[in-house]
Structures are given as C-alpha cells and as structure tokens.
C-alpha cells in the first residue's frame, strides 16, 4: 500500500541521527517552555527561527514542530502539579488534574495525560498521512480565484473563532494585511509605505513582527502583572494508573481525540477551544457529573487528548494547502519560506522527504515526550522554581541576537522594539495578536492572487462565484459569518435594549 511505503520512507528520514537529535532538542525545548509560564510556543519558535537558517529544511521543521507539540505536554504537567496552566491549552486540565494531585493521585493524572496525548498524537499523525495526499491532489487544481477565496475563508474563520472580541479580531486581520503590503510591489515595482527607508523596501521582516509581538510584548505584559507561583510539592509516587482508571479513560480519550481533530483543521481555533469542548462533552457523558471538579480522571484524559490532536491536525492545512490555521502555523510557513520553499500542495510531490519525514518525526517526538515527561517529571518541576526575573533577560538576549543575525541590521532591532510596544498596547486594548500575524503572512499572497484572478477573468469579479471550488469556499465563509456573527449581534442588541 502506498501509505505504508510513504510512512516507511518518512521514518527513514526521521530516524537519521541528525533528525532524531533535532526532534529531541525540539521536544525538550517545547516541554521546557510548556512548563515555564510566561513564554509560549509562539514566542519561542519566533526567536529560534533565525537559528534554523543553517539547518536543513527537514531538520528545521522537525525541531520547530517538536517545540510546538512538546509545549502541550509541558503545559499539562504544571497544570496538574501546580494548578498553573503553562499554556492556555491546559487551563481546563487544572480543574480536575490539580484536584487529583491533591488527593495524592498526581501520578495517575500525569500518566493518563501522557497516554491520552500520545494516543491523540498517533491518531493525528495517521490522519495527516491519510488525508494529506488527497487534499494536496485537490489543491493542485487550484488557480488564483480558488486561492483567494480559500485565504478569505481562513482569515474570516480565524477572526471569528479567535478568543475575544470578534470585531477587534477582524480589525487586526486588516491591520496585518496592511502591514504585509509594506515594501516593493511585486507587480509594478512601486515602493509602498517604505518612507524612503532602504531597509523597508523588502518589506517588514516576518520575524520582526513575531518576536516583537509574541516575545517582547508578552514580557512587557508579564512584568506588569507578576503572578504568584507556589509549587505544590506533591510527591509523585506510584505513576501507573489502576485498571479502573484506564477503563474510565478509554472513552474520554477517544472522544477527546475526535473533538481535537475536528477543531484542529478549523482555522483560527487554538487548542484551548478543543480541550474546553472536550471537558464539556465529558461532563455531559458522565454518569455522575458532580464528580467533575473534584478529581475526575475523565476531566484530564479527554481535554489532554483533545489539545494534542488539535495541535497535530493544525499541520494538515499548512502542509497541504500552504494555509496557516493558527499563529504557530504562520510561523512554520515563515520557516518554509525562509528556507526557500514555496508552501503549497507542491511541497508534497517536490519535497516528499519534508512532508513524510515531518509526519514520522511527530510520532517519534510524541514517544520521546512520554519518556521525557513521566520518569523525568521531577526535573521539570524543579525548573518551576527558577524566578522569572532571571529568565526574561535571557529571552531578550536570544531574541535580539536572532533578529540581528537575519540581515545584520540594527534597523530591524529598532523595528522589533516598536512592535513590542505596539503588541503590548494592542493586547491591552483587547486586540488579539494572532489574527494580525495571519493577515500579515497571507496579505501579500492574497493581493497577488486577487490581481491575478481579476486579470484572468478580464476584470469580472463574478469569477469567484462561478468556479465551483471557489464558490464552495465563499459559501462556507458566508455560513461561518452567519452562524457566528448573527448570534453575537443579537446578544449585543439584547444587551443594549434590555
């Protein structure tokens, strides 16, 4: 069977010692930042992007992906042991995980979180392998109008599904699109918004925006709002869950994986939505819902599987369509582009080692994470005692060197500082940052496809609704808007009149 050939080929790539090493580095760094609050996968990947220049594309992608899903594992560790979500995706895990730890069942909670995550990761890997190739096949038929409609759909979905105020998310998408325009227009050579500054004629660096908003902006926010951290020094004794625990967790893990996979392919949903939905579903299915909040193992098993399945399946649209479904995936696209690889359906046929190697490495990485997280749990907990005031200067140093090394340009350092300030201010005003990053990445491509589509159709805008695939995307976009925006409007009106 083709699938098996491809997977074996992928494992061949992923099992080379360099790639195993990159995978190990990635998942270790991921676990580390997952455990440490105050620095997330977005910021870390942005900071480490420049360092991956010198690494082969496969290795770079394997490492960056490892950071991403490794952070999901790390986040659950602190949620269970310290009642502190290392990442937003593990907020829900705090509820029952921490209660289990207080009842002396930290071991089983950690183990079931790892088992659930591993199962979900395996299924996610299989799903990518199964659905990736046919999706890419379809995408090969896409021309400019399809791409434009597809990007429109994902931007709308990203704005609608982002946490917080929907209108503000849309405004951030528009702002991101505008920032993406800065530089030389590829079609006409006109300098746009470059203010006569030479450094801006190539556009604003992707890493500049990402590091500014997600590393520096975060640190500014954290320094203003320090959180109290008291490590609940639970002795993690017997790690293994009992047979009864296992039996209770099987169904939640399966349901959580399905929920996570579903939300995973939707653009704009963070893993938090998947884990939260799974928690609600488990509560509904439970014979005795009152156990939730008091240490129900289902409340750990379901959400933990869901957030990992979600993280894994986010790769499907990125790898097959070249479409980022989240901020992290936008960074992955950036990593590909920096390596000189044009993201899109051709990646699979032209660079099969990249696609299949990455998929195989994800499964290996998940296995490494189980080993890293269960026996070594004590090491990670110790790390929690490192005070933040020692951490953030180090993060700043890595950020600065990373940005400077891209173009040896001080100008980009100043620009990053500016985006740090802007990122902080925007977040404070309630404008979420990830939609801006998506708009920024997709902006230039979208403009290009729009212009090409109009040329192709001789200036007739109906081209977007007369081609069937493009029409489908437009219809889905309209449905998303109607389903999500209408209730919000109604609620708003209700608030005003009522």
Partner 1 sequence: MKLPDSKDFWSGVMLIAIGAVAVFIARDYPFGTALRMGAGFFPVVLGVVLMLFGLTFALRGLRDSARIEGNWSLRALIVLPLAFVAFGVLMEHAGFVPAMLALTAGSAAAGPEFRIGEVLLLSGLLTVMCVALFIWALGLPYPLIVGM
Residues that bind partner 1 (CB under 8 A): 51, 54, 167-168, 170-171, 174-175, 177-178, 181, 185, 187-188, 190, 192-193, 216, 219-221, 223-226, 388-390, 392-394, 396-398, 400-401, 404-405, 410-411, 413-414, 416-418, 420-421, 424, 428-431, 447, 450-451, 454-455, 458-461
CB atoms within 10 A of CB 441: 27
Please give the Cα distance from 38 to 10 (Å, whole number).
35
| C-alpha distances out from residue 30 to 259, 316, 418, 421, Å | 23, 20, 27, 26
Closer residue to partner 1 in complex, CB, 51/471: 51
The CB-of-448 to partner 1 minimum distance in angstroms stands at: 10
Q: Smallest distance, Å, CB 445 to partner 1?
A: 12
CB of 443 to partner 1, least distance (A): 8
20 near 66, Cβ under 8 Å? no
Type and span of the H or E element at 184: strand 183-184
187 backbone dihedrals φ, ψ, rounded to 5°: -80, -40
Q: In the bound complex, what is the minimum distance in angstroms from residue 147's beta carbon to partner 1? A: 15
C-beta closer to partner 1: residue 155 or 328: 155
On whether the CB atoms of residues 384 and 231 are closer than 8 A, the answer is yes
> And the tokens for 390?
């020692």
Q: Which of 303/432 has CB closer to partner 1?
A: 432
Q: Give, for 183, the enclosing helix (H) or strand (E).
A: strand 183-184
Find the shortest distance in angstroms from Cβ 227 to partner 1: 11
Contact 318, 332 (CB under 8 A): yes
Shortest Å, Cβ 297 to partner 1: 34
47 vs 380: CA distance, rounded Å? 22
* Shortest distance, position 401 Cβ to partner 1, whole Å: 6
Nearer to partner 1, 185 or 353 (CB): 185
Q: Which is nearer to partner 1, 232 or 388 (CB)?
A: 388
Residue number, 256 or 434, with CB nearest to partner 1: 434
CA distances from 358 to 66, 218, 332 (A): 10, 29, 12
By beta-carbon proximity to partner 1, the closer residue of 193 and 285 is: 193
Q: Which of 279, 239, 238, 272 is nearest to 256 (CA)?
A: 279
């Amino acid at each position: 069977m083709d699938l098996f050939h491809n997977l074996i080929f992928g494992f061949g790539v992923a099992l080379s010692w360099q790639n195993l090493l990159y995978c190990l580095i990635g998942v270790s760094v991921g676990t580390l930042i997952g455990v440490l609050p105050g620095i997330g996968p977005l910021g870390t990947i942005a900071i480490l992007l420049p360092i991956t220049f010198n690494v082969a594309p496969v290795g770079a992608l394997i490492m960056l992906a490892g950071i991403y899903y490794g952070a999901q594992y790390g986040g659950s560790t602190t949620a269970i042991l310290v009642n502190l979500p290392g990442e937003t995706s593990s907020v829900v895990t705090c509820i029952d995980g921490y209660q289990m730890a207080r009842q002396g069942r930290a071991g089983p909670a950690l183990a079931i979180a790892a088992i659930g995550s591993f199962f979900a990761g395996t299924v996610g890997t299989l799903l990518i392998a199964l659905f990736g190739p046919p999706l890419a096949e379809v995408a090969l038929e896409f021309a400019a109008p399809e791409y434009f409609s597809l990007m429109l759909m994902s931007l709308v979905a990203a704005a609608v599904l982002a946490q917080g105020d929907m209108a503000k998310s849309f405004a951030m998408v528009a702002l991101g699109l505008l920032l993406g325009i800065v530089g030389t227009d590829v079609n006409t050579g006109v300098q746009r918004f470059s203010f006569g500054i030479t450094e801006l004629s190539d556009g604003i660096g992707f890493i500049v925006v990402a590091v500014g908003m997600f590393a520096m902006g975060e640190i500014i926010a954290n320094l203003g709002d320090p959180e109290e951290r008291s490590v609940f020094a639970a002795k993690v004794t017997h790690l293994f869950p009992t047979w009864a625990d296992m039996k209770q967790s099987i169904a939640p893990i399966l349901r959580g994986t399905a929920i996570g996979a579903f939300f995973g392919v939707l653009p704009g949903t963070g893993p938090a939505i998947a884990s939260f939905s799974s928690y609600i579903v488990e509560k509904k299915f439970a014979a005795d819902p009152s156990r939730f909040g008091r240490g129900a193992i289902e409340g750990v098993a379901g959400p933990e599987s869901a957030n990992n399945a979600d993280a894994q399946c986010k790769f499907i649209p990125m790898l097959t369509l070249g479409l980022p479904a989240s901020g992290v995936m936008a960074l992955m696209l950036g990593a590909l582009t920096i390596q000189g690889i044009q993201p899109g359906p051709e990646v699979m046929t032209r660079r099969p080692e990249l696609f299949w190697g990455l998929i195989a490495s994800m499964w290996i990485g998940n296995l490494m994470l189980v080993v890293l997280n269960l026996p070594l749990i004590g090491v990670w907990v110790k790390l929690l005692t490192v005070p933040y005031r020692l951490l953030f200067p180090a993060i700043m140093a890595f950020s600065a060197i990373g940005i400077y090394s891209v173009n040896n340009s001080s100008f980009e350092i100043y620009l990053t500082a500016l985006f740090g300030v802007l990122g902080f201010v925007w977040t404070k005003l309630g404008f979420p940052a990830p939609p801006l990053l998506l708009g920024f990445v997709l902006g230039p491509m979208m403009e290009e496809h729009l212009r090409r589509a109009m040329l192709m159709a001789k200036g007739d805008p109906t081209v977007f609704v007369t081609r069937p695939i493009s029409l489908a995307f437009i219809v889905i976009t309209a449905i998303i808007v109607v389903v999500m925006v209408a209730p919000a409007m109604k609620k708003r009106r209700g608030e005003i009149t009522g």
